[in-house]
Chains A and B, each alone.
Chain A
Amino acid sequence: MTSLLEVEDLRVRFSTEDGVVRAVDGVSFEVDRGQTLGIVGESGSGKSVTSLAIMGLLRGRFTVEGSVTLGGDELVRADPDFVRELRGNRMAMIFQDPLSSLHPYYTVGNQIIEAYRLHTGATKRVARKRAVDLLGRVGIPQPEGRIDDYPHQFSGGMRQRVMIAMALACDPELLIADEPTTALDVTVQAQILNLIADLQEEFGTAVILITHDLGVVAGVADEALVMYAGRPVEHGTLRQVFYEPRHPYTWGLLSSVTRLDREPEHRLRPISGNPPSLIDVPSGCPFHPRCPYRMLPEPCSTEVPEYAPVNGGHLVACHLSEQERTETFARDILPRVQSSVRKGG
C-alpha cells in the first residue's frame, strides 16, 4: 500500500555566512489522492523549505537528504530535468504572493496557454479554450474578456485564482498551496479555500495546505502535521490533533489562539519565549527552552525525542509517557482549549 506522495526523513541544510541552517530536519509524511494534509507551524519552522524541496525548487547553497517519491518516482536523487518535467505536469504549487510567480509582461492567458502547451503539446486554439475554461472554473467573471489582461490588472484575490488556474492547467496529482490566503482578506480567503476544496473533489488532487492559521487547517484538512524548528512534532487526523493533541507545542498553539466560539473573557495562555534560530537549534528536544512540562536536564535537553506513534496513526515527538500526556492534557489543557459550544453540551 503506497501513497501518492511519500516523504521520508527529509533533511535540508543551507550553508550561510552565519553557519549551517538546519531548515528541515527529519520530516516524514504521506499524502494520498483526494486527501488534504495541513502543515502548521510558526514562521521559520521549515514549512516552505519542505514544500520547495518536494517541488525541486530550492535555491542557494543547500544539501537535501532523505527521500521524496511521487507515484513511486524518486525525486530527491532524480535528474533535475525529470523533476522539471513533473512540475506543472504531475505536481504544482501556489504561493502566498501570486505576483512572484506570474510574469508581469505577459497576459495571464498567455501564461496559462504556454504552460498547458509545454506539457501537452496542444495547439494554440485548444490551449486558449482550455485557459478560458479554467479561468471560468476558478471564478473569474467573464473569462473571455479577462484572458488578455495582465496580472497587475487583477485584484489580489483574482490573481490567486489565476495562479490556481495555472496550477491546475495540467491536472496535477499533487497541489502544494503555501500560505495561499495569508495575504488576502477573510471573505476572499473563504472563497479561495472553498475553491481549492471544490477543485480537489472534482479532480481528486492530493493537496498539501501550508498555513500558520490553525483555523484554516480545521476548516479544510483531513490530517494535520505540526512543525517546530524544522521538525515534525505531531501528526494525526484532525480529530487527533485538535481534540486529543499530545505534544506540548500543539497545546501551546491551541491555548494561544483567539477563537470566535469562546468566551472573550477567557485569558490566552501564550507559549513563553521565541522560536529558536535554525542555525543554533537547542539540544535534545528543540522545544525544551519553552516547554512548561520539560524534564531537565534529562531527557529533554540531552536526547532528541523519537517521533513515534502513540495510538493508531497518531505520531508525537515528546519524552513524556503516554499516561503523563493524557493526564496533563485532561487536567491543564482541555479546559482551556475546549470550545464554549462543547462545554455547553
Chain B
Amino acid sequence: MGSATTNTTSSSTADTTGDAAGTGGVLLEVTGLRKHFPIKRGIIFQKQVGLVKAVDGLNFTVRRGETFGLVGESGCGKSTTGRLLTRLLRPTDGQIVLNGQDISYLPQRQVRPIRRDMQMIFQDPFSSLNPRHTVGSIVGAPFRLQRVETEGGIKRAVQELLELVGLNPEHYNRYPHEFSGGQAQRIGIARALALRPKLMVCDEPVSALDVSIRAQIINLLQDLQEEFDLTYVFIAHDLSVVRHISDRVAVMYLGHIVELGEARQIYQHPLHPYTHALLSAIPISDPDVDQARERILLTGDVPSPLNPPSGCPFRTRCWKAQDICRTERPPLAEKATGHQVACHFPEDRALIPASDR
C-alpha cells in the first residue's frame, strides 16, 4: 500500500476549474435540499404519525459536461434526490438551480418546458415503458408532448434515435416485451435523449442488467455524453460502476452527503469511515487482490430514517464514534481542495489497492 499522505494531482488541478458557483461551469446548484415524507395513519382523519427524512439537507453543484456520481446503500435517499432534481418531486425545503433558473418550487405546468433540458433514466427499463405502446410511439412521445417540430417528421427522428442507441430502426413498430432488458434500457435512453437534454439523471440504469449487457450500456452512456456534451447525475449502489463513469462522487448515508470529492480523492484517499466500509466491501474480480486487502465488517443495519440517530447519522455503526458524535452532527467541511467530508475524526485510509496513487 502506498503512503496515505501523498496529495493527488487531481486535487491541485481542481483549483483551476474550482467551485466557482454561478459561473458558466456550473449547470446545477443544490442548496439545503430536503424531502420529508409524512407517514400517516387513519382512514378518515389522517393523522401524521412520523416523518421520513429521506433527504435531509444536501449541498452540491454539478458542472457542465461532468458525471456526478451519487452512491450509498438502499434507502439512503438517492432516488428521492434524483426525483427532486428532475422535479418529479417537490422539495420540502432548499433550492435547486438549473442553468441559472430556480426550479425548486415551480408548479408542474411550468416544469414541463424545463423537461426538455433534464431527463431521467430508471433502473427497471420495462416498468418505465408503457407495454401497450410501440417503441416508435414511446421514443416519439417527447416530440409530441413538447410539440417539437422535427425535420423529416417524428418517425425519421425516432429511427435516428434508435440507431444512435444501437437498436435496429426497423423495430419501430415492436412492443417493449419483444426486447431484452438491455435493449429496453436502450429504448429508455433513446426516449430521454430525444429532445437533446443538457442534464440526464440516471437512477441505477445498469443495476438490473447482466454484466456483459451492463458494460454495453455503460459504454453507450459514455459515447453519448461525448457526442452530445451531456451532464450526468449517475446514481448507483455499486461503487465500482460509479468510479468507472464519474468525475466527482458524493457518498450518501441516511439522507445526508457524508463525503464528496473528485473520484480519485474518494477512491484513493477516502476520509469518512462509511466510505471506508463501503470500499472494503466491494468484491474485486481478482482473487489475490481481493483476498489480500483490508476488510472492514460493519455490524448491525442502517437505522430507520423514521428515527435517525442524534448527531452523526453513522455513529451507531461507526467503530470510531466518540461522545461528540452523539451530540453534534459533523458538518460537511472541506479537507482538501474540492474534497469535503462530514466526520469529526476523518482519516485518509488506503483501502483499494492501486498502482496509480
Contacts and interface: CB of A to CB of B under 8 A. Distances in A.
A259 B352 CA distance: 10
Interface in B300-357: 300-302, 352-356
A344 B237 contact: no
Interface in B257-289: 263, 267, 277-287, 289
B291 interface: yes
Contact of B213 (A188, A238, A270): A270
Contacts of B300: 141
Contacts of A259: 240, 284-286
A281 interface: no
A216 to B, nearest CB: 5
Given A186-B282, A190-B298, 13 more contacts: A158-B301, A185-B302, A186-B238, A191-B297, A214-B211, A254-B285, A257-B215, A258-B241, A258-B244, A264-B243, A274-B213, A341-B354, A343-B355
B278 A186 contact: yes
A117 to B, nearest CB: 30
Most chain A CB neighbours (cut-off 10 Å) among B74, B218, B285, B290:
B285
Interface string B14-25: 000000000000
B3 interface: no
Contact of B214 (A187, A239, A256, A274): A256
B213 A187 contact: no
A216 B211 contact: no
Interface string B98-123: 00000000000000000000000000
Contacts of B302: 185
Interface of B: 73-74, 180, 182-183, 210-216, 218-219, 222, 237-241, 243-245, 263, 267, 277-287, 289-291, 295, 297-298, 300-302, 352-356
Contacts of A148: none
Q: Which 7 A-B pairs give the minimum distances between C-beta atoms? A: A215-B283, A344-B355, A270-B215, A256-B215, A185-B73, A190-B281, A271-B212
Interface residues of A, number: 52
A217 B219 CA distance: 25
Interface in A174-201: 185-191, 194
Contacts of A188: 301
Contact of B283 (A187, A219, A254, A266): A219
A81 to B, nearest CB: 38
Interface in A135-154: 141
A154 B283 CA distance: 25
A185 B237 contact: yes
Contacts of B210: 42-43, 212, 275
Contacts of B352: 260-261
B318 to A, nearest CB: 12
Contacts of A99: none
